[in-house]
Structure 1
Amino acid sequence: MNHTKNAPLTKLIPVMLCFFAMGFVDLVGIASNYVKADLNLTDAQANIFPSLVFFWFLIFSVPTGMLMNRIGRKKTVLLSLVITFASLLLPIFGDSYMLMLVSFSLLGIGNALMQTSLNPLLSNIVNGDKLASSLTFGQFIKAIASFLAPYIAMWGATQVLPSFGLGWRVLFPIYMIISVVAILLLNATRITEEPEEGKPSTFGECLALLGKPFILLSFIGIMCHVGIDVGTNTTAPKILIERLGMTLAEAGFATSLYFIFRTAGCFLGSFILRKMSSKIFFAISVLCMLLAMVGLFIFNDLMMIYVCIALIGFGNSNVFSIIFSQALLAMPQKKNEVSGLLIMGLFGGTIFPLAMGVASDAIGQSGAVAVMTVGVIYLLFYTLRIKK
């Protein structure tokens, strides 16, 4: 059944639409800022929302790897889309603290299932040497959804009439409709999945893969990548509000700017990775982020802060796909389990914002930047372990 490896568009388009739906999770950054304003929350309280979304990766990623062994990757992706649909339906009815907690929890659970199953599903359509660049292209599609979220929220918040009284929450029904289209398209697509070798792993055997040094390093690498990602997307507007006295509506552009450069980085990365070695490109990416973190400590000028945010966006855009493909290629016979474990590393999106919320409540947004800098320094160390 090798003819599927030429990746006909009929198979790629539904899978790429699922990558777009995967990006819905990033609306939590801008949404938590709006909920904070609507409900008068502190930084630490508001940061619970992004933390909660990524908390579910800790619980659900490895079981999803095992679920895929039972029902297959495609059915697991479909299940994740249905849960995502439910999470986007709830905020249409209001934005009380409890309702948003439930909505963001479901969004996190759906996303944990999707991230664990969608990346290996893509490996059923695309073969090994093209996997890193195809994963990066998937991340590019995902980043478009991330980048549009602050704009749609801002449009909803400022244009009273077209948003049906939902305000910034008009974001949810728009993304909900797209998730329905993704469910229908993927359901109609035939994808041949190769079975995993040997008998399916138990929970303990999945976690035991962390005993392999390279898998453990990759796991921590993913934690740092997501911590920097969620951290920047939540903290960038706060830096502008703190240092330049901007309003949230004005400062919201910083989140979009991050995603614009992350999107551009993913797009360029899908070509660059076909020509340049993963190791060199990874090193360049991490150095961009290191420069930016230093800049965020020093500068109070709007343009310079924007340059730093753009550098983080570009630098962080290909980190995930390089780490992910390196780990999958290191243990090709255990793709489902490795995928489950690495996606569990997205739990970094819980730890970083919580630490950053505490640090920024204590000493201002520079505290949050310091927490992210630790993640960048780790990725610099990880660069040395990449094969080629």
Structure 2
Amino acid sequence: MKHRPMIVSYILLIWFAISFITNLIGPLMPIAIQDFKLSLTMAGFMPFSFFLAYGLISIPGGILIEVRGTRFTLFAAFALNFIGALAIAVMPGYVSVVAGLFVIGLGMALLQVVINPLMRVAAGEQHFAFFSVMAQLVFGLASFLSPLAFRFYMQRPGVEGQPLAWLTFYWFFSAAFVLLALLNYKLPLPAVALKDDERAGSREAYRSLLRRADVRLYFLAIVAYVGTEQSLANWMSQFLHSYHGMSATEQGAIAVSRFWGLMSLGCLVGLGLLKLLDSKLVLAIFSTLAIGCLGLALFGPANISLLAFPAAGFFLSVMFSVIFSLGLNSVSQHHGAFSGILCSGILGGAVVPLLIGVVADYWGLRLGLSLVFIPLLYILSVSAWARPLVRNQTLYSAKQRSAKNTSASNTPASP
């Protein structure tokens, strides 16, 4: 493909934008609480509105790609993102922020649905795995940089302490979405023919899957994972401020940045471990260690809490991909429809942080964040009850298979 490097770079730029904008919510939460004089329940509606949109649009987004194509879907996504960001920038207020985040969430979900098949076609199937990993690294880099950019801007002379100073980010986001939409218009994007595992699936496929108990359990596992991830990312800065007197724009923002940075590092370590160990064992080990980190973060002294929150990100890193692969490997058909069901589990990022805010208003944020032990224990249980039809291949299993094949080939044929 003549313009492959340009188109792949464009897709990676979209991944960067998705991550940077999404992960600004965490460090922004304590500042928004101060600026709008919010209760913790009201603050919880910020991530709730954003991730509710993700849960609602994942399956319809796949249908839109099939009906109208990738370029139209990208335009629709950028339009929604622009409207949401501009609404926050032009009409600063709690209601407009919640509504704007919901609209941005709709656009972000559409983008995530469309750019994976677009990357497969643009990069070529033989390079798809490599560029998929690169996209995750770009996503992780943006997650790491977003809170640092927030910290840098909010501590500038003349900005620090000024109410609503963070609205500047949403003016920049509005301009960025216009630029991305123009590039979408100018670039020679390839036509995308969705593969079976990328299609939304028929109504009967969804009915067939949802009748299965294991499908519903895997859906809840994704809800549990995203709820855990977003609860820690969005509430840790407020926790450090409330219980240890740390600055939301200094130590809080750094903690959120390290959380995402260590999550990216954990992904790389997890890739190596999955070549050595069964994925269920890796999930059990990482879940147990994440539970330990959460306990230290919530009940340890300030210096331990400041380290334990980011460390939890390292151990959360492999959970989404392992749960997703265990789920898909547990069914023999309708993988596209099952992927849509699992992706809808992203609404866990809406429900769990909101529940934490409600509990925190009555009994404190420490008890509120203690709710996160429940989804982590559920994720740990997946390692016990998951029964995939196909297990991940490890170096040991590959050697065993090679030895069996060698033994079979050396066995003399019976007379």
- Report the TM-score when normalising by structure 1: 0.84
Aligned mate of 1:28, from 5, 25, 41: 25
Aligned mate of 1:17, from 8, 13, 22: 13
Structure 1 residue 147 displacement after superposition: 2.7
Q: Equivalents in 2 of 1:281, 1:51: separation in Å?
A: 30
Residue identity in the other structure for 2:377: I
Aligned mate of 2:154, from 152, 157, 167: 157
Judge conservation of contact 1:21–1:182 (CA < 8 Å) in 2.
no
Residues 1:297 and 1:160: Cα distance change in structure 2 (over 3 Å): closer
Judge conservation of contact 2:200–2:337 (CA < 8 Å) in 1.
no
| SS of match in other structure, 1:151 | helix
Q: Does 1:190 align with 2:189?
A: yes
2:115: which partner in 1?
Answer: 118
1:103: which partner in 2?
Answer: 100
Structure 1 residue 240 displacement after superposition: 1.3
Q: Mean Cα displacement is larger for which, 114-123 or 242-251?
A: 114-123
Structure 1 residue 192 displacement after superposition: 4.8
2:349: which partner in 1?
Answer: 349
| SS of match in other structure, 1:369 | helix
Judge conservation of contact 2:205–2:334 (CA < 8 Å) in 1.
no
Stretches (4+) displaced over 6 A: 162-166
2:137: which partner in 1?
Answer: 140
Judge conservation of contact 1:324–1:342 (CA < 8 Å) in 2.
yes
Residue identity in the other structure for 2:367: G
Judge conservation of contact 2:210–2:216 (CA < 8 Å) in 1.
yes
Aligned mate of 1:42, from 36, 39, 42: 39
1:239: which partner in 2?
Answer: 239
Judge conservation of contact 1:73–1:120 (CA < 8 Å) in 2.
no
Q: Equivalents in 2 of 1:203, 1:310: separation in Å?
A: 41
Q: Does 1:64 align with 2:65?
A: no
Residues 1:320 and 1:157: Cα distance change in structure 2 (over 3 Å): same
Residue identity in the other structure for 1:194: A
Structure 1 residue 306 displacement after superposition: 2.4
Q: Mean Cα displacement is larger for which, 104-113 or 163-172?
A: 163-172
Judge conservation of contact 1:288–1:311 (CA < 8 Å) in 2.
no
Residues 1-388 of structure 1 aligned to structure 2 (within 5 Å): 9-23=5-19, 24-73=21-70, 75-124=72-121, 125=123, 127=125, 131=129, 135=132, 137-160=134-157, 167-185=165-183, 188-197=187-196, 201-203=201-203, 205-206=205-206, 208-250=208-250, 251-269=252-270, 278-302=279-303, 304-328=304-328, 334-384=334-384, 385=386, 387-388=391-392
Q: Equivalents in 2 of 1:283, 1:209: separation in Å?
A: 26
Q: Equivalents in 2 of 1:128, 1:276: separation in Å?
A: 26
Q: Equivalents in 2 of 1:195, 1:159: separation in Å?
A: 47
Q: Equivalents in 2 of 1:8, 1:160: separation in Å?
A: 43
| SS of match in other structure, 1:291 | helix
Structure 1 residue 373 displacement after superposition: 1.0
CA radius of gyration, larger in: 2
Q: Equivalents in 2 of 1:274, 1:123: separation in Å?
A: 24
Judge conservation of contact 1:67–1:76 (CA < 8 Å) in 2.
yes
Residue identity in the other structure for 1:21: A
Q: Mean Cα displacement is larger for which, 143-152 or 367-376?
A: 143-152
Residues 1:312 and 1:165: Cα distance change in structure 2 (over 3 Å): closer
Identity level (%): 22
| Number of aligned residue pairs | 382
Judge conservation of contact 2:206–2:337 (CA < 8 Å) in 1.
yes
| SS of match in other structure, 2:301 | coil
Q: Equivalents in 2 of 1:263, 1:178: separation in Å?
A: 25
Residues 1:109 and 1:90: Cα distance change in structure 2 (over 3 Å): same
Q: Mean Cα displacement is larger for which, 306-315 or 182-191?
A: 182-191
Deviation track 1:66-103 (CA, whole Å, cap 9, x = no partner) reads 22222235543443233223222233224212221221
Deviation track 1:14-55 (CA, whole Å, cap 9, x = no partner) reads 222222222122222223322211011111111111111111
Residues 1:10 and 1:288: Cα distance change in structure 2 (over 3 Å): farther
| SS of match in other structure, 2:166 | helix
Q: Equivalents in 1 of 2:374, 2:223: separation in Å?
A: 12
Structure 1 residue 12 displacement after superposition: 3.1
| SS of match in other structure, 1:295 | helix
**Unaligned 5+ residue runs, structure 1?**
none
Deviation track 1:267-297 (CA, whole Å, cap 9, x = no partner) reads 5545665676544443333233122122234
Q: Mean Cα displacement is larger for which, 378-387 or 366-375?
A: 378-387
Residues 1:82 and 1:240: Cα distance change in structure 2 (over 3 Å): same
Residues 1:337 and 1:117: Cα distance change in structure 2 (over 3 Å): farther
| SS of match in other structure, 2:92 | coil
Deviation track 1:178-233 (CA, whole Å, cap 9, x = no partner) reads 44444445552534533455997445643542334443333212111111111001
Q: Equivalents in 1 of 2:191, 2:271: separation in Å?
A: 24
Judge conservation of contact 1:69–1:196 (CA < 8 Å) in 2.
no
Superposition RMSD on alpha carbons, in Å?
3.4
Deviation track 1:335-373 (CA, whole Å, cap 9, x = no partner) reads 543332222101101110121112222322222232111
Judge conservation of contact 1:54–1:108 (CA < 8 Å) in 2.
yes
Judge conservation of contact 2:70–2:191 (CA < 8 Å) in 1.
no
**Unaligned 5+ residue runs, structure 2?**
393-415
Q: Equivalents in 2 of 1:383, 1:191: separation in Å?
A: 40
Structure 1 residue 128 displacement after superposition: 9.3
